[in-house]
Amino acid sequence: MAKAPDSTDVTEAEREGTDTAVDARRPPAPVAPRASRGFPSAVSRTGRVGGLDGLRTLAVALVIVHHVEPEALPGGAVAVDVFFTISGFVITRLLLAEYVRRGGISLPSFYRRRWLRLVPAMLAVCAVCAVLGTTTSLWGFEGSLEAAGLSAAFLTNVVRAMESGPYSDLTAPLAHTWSLGVEEQFYFLWPLALIFLLRRFRARTVLLGTAALCVLPLLWRCVLWNPDAAHRIYNGTDTRADQLLAGALVAVALARLRADDPRLALLRTWTGRLAWPALGLLALVAWQVPVTEDLGRWTAAYYTIGFLVVAVLSATLVAALELRPETALSRLLALTPLAWVGRNLSYGVYLWHYPVVRLLASLGVQEGRLAATVVLTLLMALLSYYVIERPFLRRAHRAKAPRPTPVPATATT
């Protein structure tokens, strides 16, 4: 039986650091005339999707196995690509819902929510690594002070992108935060681009513009590609943006379609049919494709068109989980343990798993290292969630968002 929320509950919207929970407790701001016509389903598609939460859990599990036992899952880093697409989808549908509900998007409020959601937990990880690096002789945390500074500023990916040869030790203790740098930079730029599109173009053109933006990183990768540019392509926000934009495209497309639109029924049918094949192909990449190694022509293909192919597969999976909650795959991924971990702990697990891997390696732990990594990482993620993340999310929930500047009604139809 569902439990009625009380003043101590953290709602789904709070977990994402959004204004949805605030809207439920006070009348919404006036919506610009005709604002909902272009995106009739934007507000109705803001609830949590249990299957997506479970997919987060599956993805972070692949990353852990990849970092502990890389020979078992040489392509496990593809799970980060899936995270990118999920992030683009979730952020975009929340922005569109705010646009329809309030008649505009408050950028200061959005950036503040993102800061409260991501930065406090990141700073805690950076602080622990810096302390271990400066007070112990553990080799896994040498240089942690510099790495912590880059990670806290979400610049790890920028440093790694500028290294043409083997990665240096500059970011090594917190090397996994490169993906958080990509996401944070996307969170800064994409709302600006989306507001520009919403203010100046009809909703259909917003959809087409988002689709066009998905293609630009592919063309840019083809221009940049050579073996020495592999790090530049792998770590660059501009070269990985199509994976986030693929999720954004799904969010825009679904917000455009009414519940009775025959195109939505067609999309629901085909995403349901393609969900298992998409998941299977992603699993095949994780199992068989060492995406971070130099494999000659294969690497060239993967680092140009391959990233977009993975984005399409991830977007198909995201759309299927959103549109077909009744399928076996959706029900499997929405199982309570998987969904709860994905909803509450996936960010903390990702933050802490790599320092834990390096800690155990520095201590010489070999037997049972994967199990020890999982247990210790979950403990740190639980501590992070209850002590750091949840209190800051409550603060984001209590904050009153500034009223955004309304978007002209003529740009929304």
Residue 258 lies in a domain: yes
The verdict on residue 6 lying in a domain is no
Over residues 62-108, the pLDDT tens digits come to 999 999 999 999 999 999 999 999 999 999 999 999 999 888 899 99
b/e code 75-104 from CB counts within 10 Å (16+ = b):
bbbbbbbbbbbbbbbbbbbbbbbbbbbbbb
The Cα 385–Cα 21 span in angstroms is: 19
Q: How far apart are CA 203 and CA 376, in angstroms?
A: 47
Are 52 and 318 a contacting pair, CB within 8 Å? yes
* pLDDT beyond 50 at 15: no
Q: Is residue 169 part of a domain?
A: yes
Residue 44 lies in a domain: yes
Would 1 be classed as within a structural domain? no
Asked if residue 131 belongs to a domain, the reply is yes
> How many CB atoms within 10 Å of residue 28?
15
Count CB neighbours of 169 within 10 A. 12
Number of Cα atoms under 13 Å in the Cβ half of residue 412: 23
How sure is the predictor about 112, in pLDDT bands with cuts at 50, 70 and 90? very high
Q: How far apart are CA 94 and CA 252, in angstroms?
A: 10
Instruction: Phi first, then psi: give them for residue 332, nearest 5 degrees.
Output: -65, -50
The residue range of the domain holding 205 is 15-400
Q: What is the pLDDT of residues 118-156, one digit of tens each?
A: 999 999 999 999 999 999 999 999 999 999 999 999 999
User: Residue 228 pLDDT more than 60?
Assistant: yes
Residue 409 lies in a domain: no
What is the number of domains present in the chain? 1
What are the tens digits of pLDDT across the range 279-313?
999 999 999 988 877 777 888 999 999 999 999 99
